[in-house]
């Protein structure tokens, strides 16, 4: 049994969970490169006992799909259905994405994260926005700070000629980052193309036309996130990324060689072994809503270690912002109830950036918010 982003009807919802969103105080700035020189980590990074990382956890036996095999159209939908009705995670191997592009994208993360803090802060995430540089979410959360720094940027594939990612790097960080931006532009394009192939298989898995979800995400406003987790002197007290379900639709994650990703399945945390030749794919809340709850968006987190930095690249596939998220009729006609209200990704993204820290209840709390705020679609 995996802990899913549960859905309880608004009537059953007793109260919104307390959130630790920073009130308008002077934001603390944590410099990760200085943090791990101190013997004690600041209290804000120490997580409650019940959320601290467990020692010696089992490894999850993650189902995989091989996109090069002749029968991938037959075998893959079955593997996806089994994985996604349970915990929402599977691996994709022989994916066709260039190995050199992947290793360049992994390696070039250091070009940004090794800069002095002042250089990284040129890309500082502005309050309420999803893009930019965030160092342990200073100024955003007041407790349970994640031991990481991240760089997130938008990828839109609507105008094929546009190089929005490459432009973001040179406009934000200067001409010296133009080549770096080109690599991430190419990487995002490869991720978008792989996402659409996976969406065809999703359609087959759910018994709808193979082009339905491909068409739904043909144009997407996705988010690319680079996660950098510095080594930590007390890794048993903190988390790299807290327990959450991804609010987006589909996540394509590439881990470097350092272990850290954990999924909550069968009532325990289980690790997903890094495999540089594979992408880890998981369902997000928005796709769980699109499938009317048939496919599950699942609780996962990332832990850190004492010895080495860890890097991961997460491509969050998101629909165009104004597209209405509702299950196709082929799914609804086989089910008696709608599990979630109609919404747009724009609304959901704003909810996670301005009102709510994504956790295990994000979709449930967002659905409640939509219904009680009577947000017109
Ligand atoms: C839509 C998003 C919000 C987050 C980035 C993407 C998908 C995952 C979300 C996140 C990683 C879940 C854990 C909490 C969070 C604040 C974080 O640790 O980064 C989330 C991201 C965010 O709100 O910036
Ligand atoms: O770094 C990882 O392995 C997971 C990160 C993650 O879950 C996220 O960024 O949403
Ligand atoms: Fe995640």
* Distance (Å) from CA 158 to ligand 2 centroid: 26
CA of 223, nearest ligand number: 1
As given in the structure block, the two tokens for residue 236 are 């048993």
Cα separation, 341 vs 292, whole angstroms:
10
Residue of minimum CA distance from atom 20 in ligand 1: 358
Do the domain assignments include residue 75?
yes
Point out the ligand 2 atom lying closest to the alpha carbon of residue 246. Answer: 10
203 ligand 1 Cβ < 6 A: no
Cα separation, 56 vs 65, whole angstroms:
28
Do the domain assignments include residue 181?
yes
Angle 57-63-67 (CA atoms, 0-180°, nearest 5)?
140
Q: How confident is the model at residue 10 (pLDDT cuts 50, 70, 90)?
A: very low
pLDDT per residue as tens digits for the range 36-79: 788 899 999 999 999 999 989 999 999 999 999 877 778 999 99
Write down the pLDDT at residue 39.
86
Helix (H) or strand (E) run with residue 84 in it: helix 72-84
* Distance (Å) from CA 246 to ligand 1 centroid: 7
As given in the structure block, the two tokens for residue 203 are 């359609």
- What is the domain-level CATH number for residue 76? 2.60.120.330
Give residue for tokens 């995996």.
2
Entry field: residues in the chain: 377
- Spatial CA neighbour of 241 closest among 160, 342, 137: 137
The number of folded domains in the chain is 1
> Each residue of 234-263: b (16+ CB within 10 Å) or e?
bbebbbbbbbbbbbbbbbbbbbbebbbbbb
- Residue 56, C-beta contacts closer than 8 angstroms, at least 6 positions apart: none
As given in the structure block, the two tokens for residue 299 are 């609780």
Helix (H) or strand (E) run with residue 103 in it: helix 99-113
Do the domain assignments include residue 19?
no
Q: How confident is the model at residue 135 (pLDDT cuts 50, 70, 90)?
A: confident
Rounded to two decimals, the pTM is 0.93
What average pLDDT does range 240-256 have in this prediction? 97
- Residues catalogued as catalytic: 310
Write down the pLDDT at residue 36.
75
Do the domain assignments include residue 319?
yes
Probe target for ligand 1 pocket from 19, 220, 352, with the most ligand atoms within 8 Å of CB: 352
CA of 260, nearest ligand number: 2
Q: Where are the alpha helices (DSSP H) in 217-293?
A: 285-290
Q: How confident is the model at residue 2 (pLDDT cuts 50, 70, 90)?
A: low
What are the residues facing 312 on neighbouring strands?
227, 255
The percent of residues in the chain predicted with pLDDT above 90, rounded, is: 81
241 ligand 1 Cβ < 6 A: yes
Residue 77 burial by Cβ neighbours in a 10 Å radius (0-12, 13-18, 19+): buried
Cα–Cα distance list, 150 to 291, 343, 356 (Å): 30, 27, 18
Q: How confident is the model at residue 305 (pLDDT cuts 50, 70, 90)?
A: very high
Do the domain assignments include residue 20?
no
Do the domain assignments include residue 151?
yes
Do the domain assignments include residue 241?
yes
Residues having C-beta closer than 5 Å to ion ligand 3: 246
* Distance (Å) from CA 358 to ligand 1 centroid: 6
CA of 363, nearest ligand number: 1
End-to-end CA distance of the chain: 34
Cα separation, 157 vs 161, whole angstroms:
9
302 ligand 2 Cβ < 6 A: yes
* Distance (Å) from CA 136 to ligand 2 centroid: 14
Do the domain assignments include residue 84?
yes
Q: Are 224 and 211 in contact (CB under 8 A)?
A: no
Cα separation, 92 vs 49, whole angstroms:
34
Residue 237 pLDDT exceeds 50? yes
3-state SS assignment for residue 313: strand
Point out the ligand 2 atom lying closest to the alpha carbon of residue 272. Answer: 3
Rounded to a whole number of angstroms, the CA Rg of the chain reads: 20
Residue 91 pLDDT exceeds 60? yes
Where is average pLDDT lowest: 9-23, 249-263, 344-358?
Answer: 9-23
Write down the pLDDT at residue 158.
78
Residue 160 burial by Cβ neighbours in a 10 Å radius (0-12, 13-18, 19+): exposed
Write down the pLDDT at residue 30.
74
Q: Which domain holds residue 142?
A: 45-373
């Amino acid at each position: 049994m995996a802990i899913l982003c549960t859905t309880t009807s608004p009537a059953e919802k007793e109260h919104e969970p307390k959130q630790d969103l920073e009130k308008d105080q002077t934001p603390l700035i944590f410099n990760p490169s200085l943090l791990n020189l101190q013997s004690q980590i600041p209290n804000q990074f120490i997580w409650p006992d019940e959320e601290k990382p467990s020692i010696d956890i089992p490894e999850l036996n993650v189902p995989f799909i091989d996109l090069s095999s002749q029968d991938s159209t037959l075998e893959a939908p079955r593997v996806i259905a089994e994985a996604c009705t349970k915990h929402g995670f599977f691996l994709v191997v022989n994916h066709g994405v260039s190995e050199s592009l992947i290793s360049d994208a992994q390696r070039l993360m250091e070009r940004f994260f090794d800069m002095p803090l002042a250089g990284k802060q040129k890309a500082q995430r502005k309050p309420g926005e999803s893009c930019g540089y965030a160092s342990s979410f200073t100024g955003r959360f007041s407790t349970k700070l994640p031991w990481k720094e991240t760089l997130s940027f938008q990828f839109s594939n609507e105008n094929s000629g546009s190089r929005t990612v490459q432009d973001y790097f040179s406009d934000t960080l200067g001409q010296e980052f133009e080549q770096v931006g080109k690599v991430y532009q190419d990487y995002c394009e490869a991720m978008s193309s792989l996402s659409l192939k996976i969406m065809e298989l999703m359609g087959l898995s759910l018994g709808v036309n193979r082009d339905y979800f491909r068409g739904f995400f043909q144009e997407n406003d996705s988010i690319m996130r680079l996660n950098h987790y510095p080594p930590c002197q007390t890794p048993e007290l903190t988390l790299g990324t807290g327990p959450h379900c991804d609010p987006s639709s589909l996540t394509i994650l590439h881990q470097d060689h350092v272990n850290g990703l954990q999924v909550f399945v069968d009532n325990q945390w289980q690790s997903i072994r890094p495999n540089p030749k594979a992408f880890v794919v998981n369902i997000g809340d928005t796709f769980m809503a699109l499938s009317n709850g048939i496919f599950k968006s699942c609780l996962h987190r990332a832990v850190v270690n004492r010895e080495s930095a860890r890097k991961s690249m997460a491509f969050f596939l998101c629909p165009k912002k104004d597209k209405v998220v509702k299950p196709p009729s082929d799914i609804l006609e086989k089910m008696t109830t709608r599990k979630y209200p109609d919404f747009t990704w724009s609304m959901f993204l704003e909810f996670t950036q301005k009102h709510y820290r994504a956790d295990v209840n994000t979709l449930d709390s967002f659905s409640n918010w939509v219904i009680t705020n009577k947000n017109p679609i």
